[in-house]
Amino acid sequence: MLDELSVTEVAQRCQAETQRYLRGEFALDQFCMELFRRALVLRDEAAWTHLYEQYADMVRHWLGTGHDAAVSVVFTRFWKAVDAAKFLRFASLAGILQYLKMCARATLLDEARRAAMSPSEQPLDAISRHPAATVMVEADVAEQLDAAAFWAEIAGILTDERERTVIELAFVAGLRPREICRLHASDFPDIDEVYRLKRSALDRLRRALRGRDTL
């Protein structure tokens, strides 16, 4: 049935689903998920246009006043981050919108880092070797590095996809373990498992940074 609908028809029905979702009403989200699938998996330009038009105001709200120019940056980040494989991990509209919100927060982080940069700022390599790196990984990775460097660090150190996902959701989206379970129940049905993966990932990051300090 969904394949028989035009992208315009899917977008219209998705808009109704989104409105019910925002009002806190129970709503199926099959049309929204189909619109996202066409845009992100099939890379359908028309679907992407509808997606942008439908959720641009939501992204603008997340970014706050004075960041209108960053809306397109958020969507570009989102488009690049979610490929066919990653899309399959999203079980609901709530989950995929949370990821879009995470992209908005990461974009704000990038802007803040650029605004704070000065000619005398230490390069990334110097920052990552600073002794403080061995004390608190959360502060090092989430506060001292810009978003691009952060994910370069994550990709290079964390090879376990589930650990990497937990770190993304915890430090970029700002989700607590219970929220991760609620929004991504198919991937993380057990809150104890989320805590275990988070501890394991942070331990791995600590060891990696400590090892670089000794070089």
Contacts of 209 (CB under 8 A, 6+ apart): 128, 133, 134, 137, 140
Q: Are 33 and 21 in contact (CB under 8 A)?
A: no
Tell me, yes or no, whether 112 and 123 share the same domain: no
Q: Which residues of the chain have pLDDT under 70?
A: 112-155, 172-174, 209-215
Domain boundary among 116, 147, 178: 116
Helices assigned H by DSSP within 23-70: 30-40, 45-63
Alpha-carbon torsion angle 215, 138, 97, 185, nearest 10: 100
Q: What is the pLDDT of residue 149?
A: 56
Q: Is the same domain home to 28 and 106?
A: yes
pLDDT of residue 176: 82
Query: CB-based contacts of 152: which residues, under 8 Å, 6+ apart?
Result: none
Last residue within a domain, chosen from 101, 116, 131: 116
Query: Domain check: are 4 and 98 in the same one?
Result: yes
Shared-domain flag, residues 108 and 22: yes
Q: Which domain holds residue 1?
A: 1-116
pTM of the model: 0.59
Is there a contact between 78 and 99 (Cβ–Cβ < 8 Å)?
yes
Say if residue 88 is in the same domain as residue 127.
no
Output the pLDDT for position 169: 76
Domain boundary pick from 116, 144, 172: 116
Does 101 lie in the same domain as 3? Answer: yes
Q: Are 137 and 66 within 8 A, CB to CB?
A: no
Beta-carbon neighbour count of residue 154 at 10 Å?
18
Domain count, the chain: 2
User: Rounded to an integer, what distance in angstroms lies between the CA atom of residue 125 and that of residue 127?
Assistant: 5
